[in-house]
């Protein structure tokens, strides 16, 4: 884990006023990366950094030669239409650019620098996003004990937790092609489901559509095939984190998934938030990785002092459902759960090391999901199948009073995330949003 | 399915003598596509077609302007360092190039054409291969009833076949980054396994290393997200087929796979044969898709007249193990099983339709595996875990008399495939080879 440095100073202020607005997600201490262009345009996509209510267009900044040295070289990579090359360049490159952008945006930057940078800003309301990388592979982990028990009880009441859960971070390969950026809506999927008590399955639009509150992390420098990454080196291979919604068709999933895991129940759509918060920005929010007392300790290859001391990340998370009625009446989305990422049973370093232990090669720009994030109490559950106890106990949406067991057409699901504590700047992830459109006519 | 045309004429001969050698895999009626360069060189990769004992360098041919019209445009795509754009172009483009190459290689081609084409040939012994496409996603199906029962008996003796098997082609997402071309060796993977009767898992090099005899198929034109492909249109989205070895670490796999499926047990390496045999070349070998009597019929979206009439492909398949002793004594690999692809329970069209039924988008150049191909008898099993009944009954390797329950270091596994019948030209797939290297020091 990186040390704290001047770029984490909570007292630092930007010459851009919106960066220090109360509750701002993107103060000068954050500087998350994404890929943008002007909304509705056919402009080339390019890298950008969020600051206050603006996107700093890195291609435009590259053209102005404000940065020099290592930072200028890093900027050339980060300005590209996808961030793979920048992610591949590694922590020193990421940090060189972070520090240079921090200095250029700080309120004591020379007026000429301020003016040049100001000319590269685009209001966030005027940008549209693309995926931050050309995605190679996407892997989804399963690292919340509470989620595993909640869902396990529905599927296997007599043995909710598989015996491997406490020994390794379970994962499966997901579908990369259907990972989309926040704001991309999707149609309710068709598929096969086996109705309770039926003799044969049916072909049907999903009747048990769900979201999953997750975080994602992007791979920095990859590893060669056959060359595992040790736990102590794992975080040097992680660029940053985002919010991730692993939309799930539970009726299709639960019918198809034995014995080889989820497939169509997941691969119709996976949404991520547009801005990737760097591991550098998260340094103030690292927390000890604590195993519940009496639980098995990780095997040696998944254990280490640094991971125990600060392997966790304390990110606050919230899920909102905004129904068509909410929109019609101008009401805010109803919050349906709130939790923290630090409850996960495995750290992102452990996930990365496990992924490579057999020699699997990760590539720069690959995406990993953490699995659903459910906290220890019912109100902290990260999926509606848990909140509604398998669809048996409807939840009520604040504002409209509507009831939900699963998602209905027109429902938008909005994930939000942020880090906040005394003595550190707030670091926000923005939001991840997607709306369920009706199933297409067959 | 395409109709037979002049390019399937079994009497057609090439001016290249090796194309009609007895038992040749690559006669003029085949014309499979791959990506090559001269062995050991740093030349640019480019598309090629196998003919007899030669690779026809399509980039070189493109430079000679031998082809015209649609075929010349197709050639420009097929000459690229990866075949994604060619696959995206669709069946009419594929066929235009097939027909033009057939005419240029046929023994009645004008001498000037023969001379120009001959100048673009590289002996197969002098080429090295790359993956034929920039792989987007890789999906592995599970469509052999016999394999599912054989393996199911080892894992769940009381219910070897999951209730969904006969209703849908089961699949899971695989790892694209570790798909390699034939000839790429790999180290025995480390990982976690739970020894029988143990209280805690161990971290260990794989002790139950296996191969899986599969075929692969490559996606041609993709489908947009949210737009399923109907069964009758499915084969227009399939470019061709290859051999695939889904190497498996059974001890790691069986410990990790509940509840989300195989992950590290598979993602350390997947090998494919270098030449992709087009669906056009396989037209003479299409066979009816027959369900065992009394089995459930597919739901309507997975059923259709064309699929019933000719959804199958009759490819003969063989697995050989070549141990270090075989090599030391100059002995041929020991054949350990032989079967046919037509035994599969689902067709490739059904697999593709199922993959997209929920809206998952496929992209040109994506790879799908068929799952292990095991025939109805024990000798037709496509994995050593089946042949050795879970490692309890060793098999004996012809030639050396060595015994195997699982693979040992130094073992090379060689998959071969071909189509052959009276009245049609033999269509070969060549081979898919990989060697197990010792586990790396930890």
Who among A152, A172, A191 is closest to B358 (CB)?
Answer: A191
pLDDT at A1: 55
- Measure CA of the first residue to CA of the last residue in chain A; give whole Å: 51
Contact yes or no for B256/B264 (Cβ under 8 A): yes
pLDDT in tens, A4-28: 999 999 999 999 999 999 999 999 9
- For A188, which residue in chain B has the nearest alpha carbon? B358
Q: Do B173 and A178 touch (CB under 8 A)?
A: no
B4 CB burial (10 A radius; 0-12, 13-18, 19+): exposed
Size of the A and B interface in Cβ pairs below 8 Å: 205
Q: Do the chains contact at B256 and A164, CB–CB below 8 Å?
A: yes
Check pLDDT > 60 for residue B1.
no
Question: What is the mean predicted confidence (pLDDT) over B193-202?
Answer: 96
CB neighbour class for A14 (10 Å; exposed up to 12, middle 13-18, buried from 19) = buried
Q: Do A264 and B136 touch (CB under 8 A)?
A: no
Residue B99: active-site member: no
Task: Give B320 to chain A, closest Cα distance, Å.
Answer: 24
Q: At what angle do helices A91-105 and A111-118 cross, to 10 degrees?
A: 110
| A65 backbone φψ class: left, alpha, beta (φ>0; ψ -120 to 50) | left
Taking the C-alpha atoms of residue A418 and residue A349, their distance in angstroms, rounded to an integer, is 20
pLDDT at residue B355, rounded to an integer: 98
> Which of A144, A263, A299 to probe by mutation at the B interface, max B CB count within 10 Å?
A263
The β-bridge relationship of strands A412-419 and A186-187 is: unpaired
CB A213 within 8 A of CB A147: no
In the structure, what pLDDT confidence band is assigned to residue A92 with cuts at 50, 70 and 90? very high
Alpha-carbon gap, residue B431 to B289, rounded angstroms = 26
CB contact under 8 A, A261 and B264: no
Angle A338-A343-A348 from CA coordinates, rounded to 5°: 115
Does position A38 have pLDDT exceeding 70, yes or no? yes
Beta strands per DSSP E along B292-340? 312-313, 316-322, 334-340
Which of A162, A187, A354 is opposite residue B259, by nearest beta carbon? A162
Q: What is the pLDDT of residues A182-235, one digit of tens each?
A: 999 999 999 999 999 999 999 999 999 999 999 999 999 999 999 999 999 999
Cβ separation A201–B267 shorter than 8 A:
no
Inspect the interface and report whether the beta carbons of B137 and A176 lie closer than 8 Å.
Answer: yes
Per-residue pLDDT averaged across B149-159, rounded? 89
Q: Which residues of A are the active-site residues?
A: 147
Exactly one of B146, B147, B237, B326 is catalytic; which is it?
B147
Question: pLDDT band for position B292 (50/70/90)?
Answer: confident
> Is the model's pLDDT at B72 over the cut of 60?
yes
The third-level CATH classification (topology) of the domain covering A138-437 is Fumarylacetoacetate hydrolase; domain 2 (3.90.850)
Contact B214, B266 (CB under 8 A): no
- CATH number (2.60.40.650, 3.30.70.980, 2.30.30.230, 2.90.10.10) of A6-130 reads 2.30.30.230
The percentage of residues in chain A with a pLDDT greater than 90, rounded to a whole number, is: 96
Query: Of B389, B413, B391, B386, whose CA–CA distance to B404 is shortest?
Result: B391
Exposed / middle / buried, residue B197 (Cβ in 10 Å: 0-12, 13-18, 19+): exposed
At residue A290 the predicted structure's pLDDT band, cuts being 50, 70 and 90, is confident
Nearest to A226 among B177, B202, B440 (CB): B440
Structure tokens at A288: 């000890």
Per-residue pLDDT band for A292 (boundaries 50, 70, 90) equals confident
For A403-427, the pLDDT digits (tens) are: 999 999 999 999 999 999 999 999 9
Phi/psi for A125 (5° steps) reads -70, -15
Domain segments of chain B as ranges: 6-130, 138-437
Q: Across the interface, do B269 and A225 touch by the CB < 8 Å criterion?
A: yes
DSSP 8-state symbol, A91: H
Q: Which residues in chain A have their CB less than 8 angstroms from residue B249's CB? A: 358
> pLDDT-based confidence at B377, cuts 50/70/90?
very high
- For A93-115, the pLDDT digits (tens) are 999 999 999 999 999 999 999 99
Q: Smallest CA–CA separation between B57 and chain A, in Å?
A: 29
Q: What is the DSSP string of A312-340?
A: EE--EEEEEEE-HHHHHTTPPPEEEEEEE
A440 in Cβ contact with B226 (< 8 Å): yes
The answer to whether A348 touches A153, Cβ cutoff 8 Å, is no
Interface contact B260-A256, CB threshold 8 A = no
Of A187, A257, A263, the CB nearest to B173: A263
Percent of chain B topping pLDDT 70? 100
List CB contacts (< 8 A) between B361 and chain A: 177-178
CB-neighbour burial class of residue A324 (10 A; exposed 0-12, middle 13-18, buried 19+): middle
Q: Helix, strand, or coil here: B98?
A: helix
What's the whole-number mean pLDDT along residues A30-47? 98
**Buried residues in B117-150 as b, exposed as e (16+ CB within 10 A):** beebbbebeebbbbbbbbbbbbbbbbbbbbbbeb
Cα B432 to Cα B416: distance, rounded to the nearest angstrom:
7
What does pLDDT average to over chain A? 97
Tokens of B193: 């396994």
Question: In chain A, whose CA is at the least distance from the CA of B192?
Answer: A168
Residue B290: predicted pLDDT: 85
Q: What is the pLDDT of residues B237-278, one digit of tens each?
A: 999 999 999 999 999 999 999 999 999 999 999 999 999 999
Q: How far is A153 from chain B (nearest CA, A)?
A: 13
d(CA B364, CA B359): 16
| Mean pLDDT score, B333-353 | 97
Distances (CA, A) of A394 to A156, A237, B384: 22, 42, 49
Confidence check: pLDDT of A91 > 70: yes
Q: What are the CA-CA distances from residue B364 to residues A189, A230, B96, B137, B279 (Å)?
A: 22, 35, 18, 10, 15
CB count in 10 Å sphere of residue A34: 23
């Amino acid at each position: 884990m990186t040390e704290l440095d001047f770029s984490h100073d909570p007292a630092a202020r930007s010459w851009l006023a919106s960066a220090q607005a109360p509750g701002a997600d993107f103060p000068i201490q954050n500087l998350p990366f994404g890929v943008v262009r002007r909304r509705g345009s056919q402009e080339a996509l390019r890298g950008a950094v969020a600051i206050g209510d603006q996107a700093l267009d890195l291609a435009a900044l590259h053209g102005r030669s404000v940065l020099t040295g290592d930072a200028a070289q890093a900027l050339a990579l980060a300005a590209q239409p996808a961030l793979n090359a920048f992610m591949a360049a590694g922590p020193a490159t990421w940090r060189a650019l972070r520090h240079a952008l921090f200095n250029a945006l700080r309120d004591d930057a020379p007026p000429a620098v301020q003016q040049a940078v100001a000319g590269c800003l685009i209001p966030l309301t005027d940008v549209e996003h693309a995926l931050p990388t050309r995605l190679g592979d996407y892997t989804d982990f399963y690292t919340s004990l509470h989620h595993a028990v909640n869902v396990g009880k529905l599927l296997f009441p007599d043995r909710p937790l598989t015996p491997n859960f406490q020994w390794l971070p379970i994962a499966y390969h997901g579908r990369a092609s259907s990972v989309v950026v926040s704001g991309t809506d999707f149609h309710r999927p068709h598929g096969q489901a086996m109705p309770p008590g039926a003799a044969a399955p049916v072909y049907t639009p999903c009747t048990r559509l769900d979201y999953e509150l997750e975080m994602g992390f992007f791979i920095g420098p990859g590893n060669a095939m056959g060359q595992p990454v040790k736990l102590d080196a794992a975080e040097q291979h992680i660029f940053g984190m985002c919010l991730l919604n692993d939309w799930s068709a539970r009726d299709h999933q639960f019918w198809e998934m034995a014995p080889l895991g989820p497939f169509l129940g997941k691969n119709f759509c996976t949404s991520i938030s547009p801005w990737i918060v760097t591991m550098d920005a998260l340094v103030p929010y690292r927390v000890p990785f604590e195993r519940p007392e009496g639980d098995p300790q990780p095997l040696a290859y998944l254990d280490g002092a640094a991971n125990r001391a600060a392997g966790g990340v304390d990110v606050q998370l919230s899920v909102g459902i905004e129904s068509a009625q909410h929109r019609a009446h101008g009401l805010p989305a109803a919050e349906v759960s709130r939790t923290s990422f630090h409850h996960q049973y495995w750290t992102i370093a452990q996930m990365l090391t496990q992924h490579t232990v057999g020699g699997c090669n990760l590539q720069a720009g690959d995406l990993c999901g953490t699995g659903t994030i459910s906290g220890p109490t019912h109100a902290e559950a990260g999926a509606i199948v848990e909140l509604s106890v398998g669809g048996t106990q409807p939840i009520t949406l604040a504002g409209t009073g509507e009831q939900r067991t699963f998602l209905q057409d027109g429902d938008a699901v909005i994930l939000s995330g942020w880090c906040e504590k005394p003595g550190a700047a707030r670091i926000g992830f923005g939001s991840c949003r997607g709306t369920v459109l009706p199933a297409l006519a067959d």
